Amino acid sequence: MSWRKEQRRAERGYHHGNLKEALLQAALGLIAEKGAAGFTFADAARMAGVSAAAPYRHFRDRDELLSSIAQRGFEQFEQRLAAAWDDGRPDTVTAFERVGKAYLAFAREEPAFYNAMFESGVPVDANPALQAASERAFNIIRAAAERLAALTPPGTPRPPAMMMALHIWSMAHGVASLFSRGDAARRKLPMSPDELLEAEVLIYLRGLGFPTDRRPAGKGAEPPPVPPEAPSGSGVPPGGTPGGPWGKPK
């Protein structure tokens, strides 16, 4: 046995005290480094200063550890999305876009969680708690979509809110997993993932009849200003950044 190990043991005694948490943290670090596939149960144990068999006292097997991380990830994800949504303040469209940004930010800033959640092959539906956490996170997007759906300008086709939510989710996930993470991020793009997603969502919202004219596209005339936030009237600020979400068209 290594000197190091003995030393660790001396420091902390026979019992670790908080092994479960330590393992989760270790795994998180390892996944961030080498991906969920490269992460090793034995490595996590080593990193926690414990024998290879010890983790089995806290997790049925390697998959359960991964699953736990995914679940915790969904919980944090939900919190961040909820904070971004902020119940639709100051206006629905702005908040909606903030959710998109939060999605990408999470994928970028918490690669280990995102990996465990969406790219580790953990079957979400196998674990009820995990599935529930996943649904709670999605429900934020869904709630936002409901609000948005209620606001689609009259005379415009109005898809079910659920569908809009799924659309947004797929856009965000598509951008995140193709361009915003790991080696995929190395695909060189003419713009940042954030800009890409923002423009995508804006075009989509325009397709639903929402005024997205706060960013005049190019030199052209302002797109016809549909009454902001249709029925009630609290709404999208008319002003905007010049250049449009996609920059000046050449």
Partner DNA sequence: GGCTCATGTAAAGATCGTTCACATGAGCTG
Partner DNA sequence: CAGCTCATGTGAACGATCTTTACATGAGCC
Q: Which is nearer to DNA, 10 or 221 (CB)?
A: 10
**Of 194, 222, 193, residue with least CA distance to 206:** 222
Q: Compute CA distances 180 → 153, 166, 201, whole Å.
A: 33, 19, 16
User: In 3D, which of 147, 189, 188 has the Cα closest to residue 168?
Assistant: 147
Q: Does 27 bind DNA (CB under 7 A)?
A: no
Q: Does 242 bind DNA (CB under 7 A)?
A: no
Closest CA to 28 of 37, 36, 16, 20: 36
Q: What radius of gyration do the chain's Cα atoms show?
A: 23
Residues within the interface to a copy of itself (CB under 8 A): 35, 37-38, 118-119, 121, 123-126, 155-160, 162-163, 166-167, 169-175, 177-179, 182-184, 186-187, 189-191, 196-197, 199-200, 202-209, 212, 217-218, 220-221, 223, 236, 238, 240, 243-244, 246-247, 249-250
Q: Least distance (Å) from a copy of itself to the CB of residue 59?
A: 18
- DSSP state letters, 81-150: HHHHHGGG-S-HHHHHHHHHHHHHHHHHH-HHHHIIIIIS---GGGSHHHHHHHHHHHHHHHHHHHHHHH
User: Which is nearer to a copy of itself, 49 or 228 (by Cβ)?
Assistant: 228
**Residue 199: CA atoms inside 13 Å, Cβ hemisphere, count?**
16
Q: Which does 63 bind (CB under 5 to 8 A by kind): DNA, a copy of itself, none?
A: DNA
Of the two residues 21 and 87, which places its CB atom closer to DNA in the complex? Answer: 21
Among 25, 32, 35, 40, binds DNA (CB under 7 A): 40
Q: Which of 53, 125, 183, 219 binds DNA (CB under 7 A)?
A: 53
- The residue among 15 and 187 lying less far from a copy of itself, judged by its C-beta, is 187
Residues in contact with DNA by CB under 7 A are 1, 9, 13-17, 19, 40-43, 50-54, 56-58, 61-63
